């Protein structure tokens, strides 16, 4: 580092060879008219701000270093990449996993049955999915709430009426809503996959309380959700072998879709944006060369006045 | 040269026709560009999108 700085200085890049250029700089400087006290004040303010920034940065690094957390490995998702859409067959299987496994405890409040149409289900299938559920509606003429079969416009019903009921049923732990879970956790769908497949026995020295399980990907290691995905725990309607990792992969893809329903449109716009900006860059590069040509090819000659 | 000067004299010289040319070419460029991009995207993601698999579920 020092050698490199020395080489740059040696090359004379930072040296001002003549006093005239120094004079020029000082005559163009906007701080020329400042008083000594004002310069000192602004200078010390700059040092203070820089120092505060450095301290904040250093503190942030040290906090991260002290965390005992296992980061999920990056998986080669079929929707990774600049132009890759979601795998909708996988999203559909993921809905089956959510419906038959996750929905026992986790809500999906922000997804309505109409959202499934054209993404994972046809309209008839989505209507049939909705009609399986009894939705609380009302009040009727007598002021009572009543149950009715679901419609396309209904949101996916939650397993518990409120957070307190969910906590009471789960040893005080709250199963989070899964609608935006891949955006709400570090690592996104990689984290969901690692968490669902990462259960194993607690190592020696880790004490788990009643109703807790060990999962290294969960911060702290003690998670109140039991392992729920095993080989063949459900049967896929399209005949895909339902191994535990397949189930976890499909439900992670499904939750990626629930969190980012605009995913495919975004990737489609990516193609268009790259295309149009390539054209615009070429046009503006040409225009710049064209407009500057006369200036760049100009020669300036200095002729001292002869006495 | 004759062609370009003919195009210039008939189409680009008057502001009215020039403006028409701009609007018209913008329309056709937009349609063509969108179509090309969508075709690329759909062939790149063949078999993954809903329109590729919905035949399996609706008769």
pLDDT of the residue at A49: 96
Count of CB atoms situated within 10 Å of the CB of A158 = 17
Count of CB atoms situated within 10 Å of the CB of A270 = 16
Find chain B residues with C-beta within 8 A of A84's C-beta.
44-45, 48
Q: Look at residue A114 and tell me whether its pLDDT is greater than 80.
A: yes
To probe the interface with B, which of A79, A82, A272, A276 has the most B CB atoms within 10 Å?
A272
Question: Do A85 and B33 count as a contact with CB atoms less than 8 A apart?
Answer: no
Predicted TM-score (pTM) of the model is 0.78
Which residue in the set A78, A118, A121 is minimally distant from B48, CB to CB? A78
Query: Bridge-partner residues for A135, per DSSP?
Result: A148
pLDDT digit string, tens, across residues A94-113: 999 999 999 999 999 999 99
Question: Do A84 and B48 count as a contact with CB atoms less than 8 A apart?
Answer: yes
Between residues A102 and A65, which one has the greater pLDDT?
A102
Mean pLDDT along residues B25-38: 96
Q: Got the DSSP string for A121-175?
A: B-HHHHHHHHHHSEEEE---TTS--EEEE--TTSBPPPSSSSHHHHHHHTTT---
Between residues A223 and A21, which one has the greater pLDDT?
A223
| Strand pairing report for A146-149 and A213-214 | unpaired
- The CA-atom distances, in angstroms, between A288 and each of A283, A291, A293, B4, B22 are 9, 5, 8, 24, 22
pLDDT of the residue at A22: 57
Distance (Å) from the alpha carbon of B37 to chain A's nearest alpha carbon: 6
pLDDT of the residue at A219: 87
The encoded tokens of residue A73 equal 């490995």
Mean pLDDT along residues A2-22: 53
Mean pLDDT along residues A26-48: 86
CA distance A255 to A106: 12
Mean pLDDT along residues A212-224: 91
pLDDT of the residue at A27: 66
Q: How confident is the prediction for chain A on average, in pLDDT? A: 89
Question: Do A271 and B37 count as a contact with CB atoms less than 8 A apart?
Answer: yes
Q: Look at residue A71 and tell me whether its pLDDT is greater than 70.
A: yes
Between helix A244-259 and helix A88-100 the angle, nearest 10°, is: 100
Residue B54's contacts (CB-CB under 8 Å, 6 or more residues apart) are A122
Q: What percent of chain A has pLDDT above 70?
A: 88
Domains of chain A with CATH codes: 88-111+155-263 (1.10.760.10)
Distance (Å) from the alpha carbon of B20 to chain A's nearest alpha carbon: 22
Residue A102 labelled as part of a binding site: yes
Q: In which band, very low, low, confident or very high, does the pLDDT at A61 lie, cut at 50, 70 and 90?
A: confident
Find chain B residues with C-beta within 8 A of A268's C-beta.
37-38, 41
| CB crowding A249-261: b at 16 or more within 10 Å, else e | bbbbbbbbbbbbe
Complex ipTM more than 0.90, yes or no: no
pLDDT digit string, tens, across residues A228-274: 999 999 999 999 999 999 999 999 999 999 999 999 999 999 999 99
Question: Do B56 and A267 count as a contact with CB atoms less than 8 A apart?
Answer: no
Q: In which band, very low, low, confident or very high, does the pLDDT at B44 lie, cut at 50, 70 and 90?
A: very high
Euclidean distance between the first and the last CA atom of chain B, given in angstroms as a whole number: 60
Q: In which band, very low, low, confident or very high, does the pLDDT at A284 lie, cut at 50, 70 and 90?
A: very high
pLDDT of the residue at B6: 92
Q: In which band, very low, low, confident or very high, does the pLDDT at A63 lie, cut at 50, 70 and 90?
A: low
Question: Do B37 and A268 count as a contact with CB atoms less than 8 A apart?
Answer: yes
Which residue in the set B41, B48, B58 is minimally distant from A271, CB to CB? B41
Nearest Cα to Cα of residue A245 among A257, A232, A258: A232
């Amino acid at each position: 580092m020092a050698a490199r700085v020395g080489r740059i200085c040696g090359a004379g890049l930072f040296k001002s060879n003549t006093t005239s250029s120094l004079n020029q700089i000082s005559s163009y400087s906007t701080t020329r008219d400042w008083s000594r006290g004002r310069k000192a004040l602004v200078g010390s303010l700059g040092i203070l701000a820089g120092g505060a920034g450095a301290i904040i940065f250093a503190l942030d690094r040290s906090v991260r270093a002290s965390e005992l957390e296992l980061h999920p490995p990056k998986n080669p998702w079929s929707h990774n990449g600049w132009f890759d859409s979601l795998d909708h067959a996988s999203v559909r299987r993921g809905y089956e996993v959510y419906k038959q496994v996750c929905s026992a405890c986790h809500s999906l409040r922000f997804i309505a049955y109409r959202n499934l149409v054209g993404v994972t289900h046809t309209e008839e299938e989505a209507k049939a999915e909705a009609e399986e559920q009894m939705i609380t509606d009302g009040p009727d003429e007598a002021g009572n709430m009543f149950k009715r079969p679901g419609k396309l416009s209904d949101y996916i019903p939650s397993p518990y009426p409120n957070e307190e009921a969910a906590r009471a049923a789960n040893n005080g732990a709250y199963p989070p809503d899964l609608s935006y879970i891949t955006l709400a956790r570090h690592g996104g769908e990689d984290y969901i996959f690692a968490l669902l497949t990462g259960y194993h026995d607690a190592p020696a020295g880790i004490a788990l309380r009643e109703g807790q399980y060990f999962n290294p990907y969960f911060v702290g290691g003690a998670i109140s959700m039991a392992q729920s995905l095993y080989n063949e725990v459900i049967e896929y309607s399209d005949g895909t072998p339902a191994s535990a990792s397949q189930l976890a992969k499909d439900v992670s893809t499904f939750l990626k879709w629930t969190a980012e329903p605009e995913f495919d449109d975004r990737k489609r716009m990516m193609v268009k944006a790259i295309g149009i900006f390539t054209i615009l860059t070429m046009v503006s590069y040409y225009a710049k060369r064209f407009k500057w040509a006369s200036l760049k090819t100009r020669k300036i000659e200095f002729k001292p006045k002869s006495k | 040269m004759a062609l370009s000067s003919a195009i210039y004299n008939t189409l680009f010289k008057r502001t009215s026709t020039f403006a028409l040319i701009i609007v018209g070419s913008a329309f056709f460029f937009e349609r063509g560009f969108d179509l090309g991009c969508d075709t690329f995207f759909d062939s790149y993601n063949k078999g993954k999108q809903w329109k590729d698999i919905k035949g399996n579920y609706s008769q």
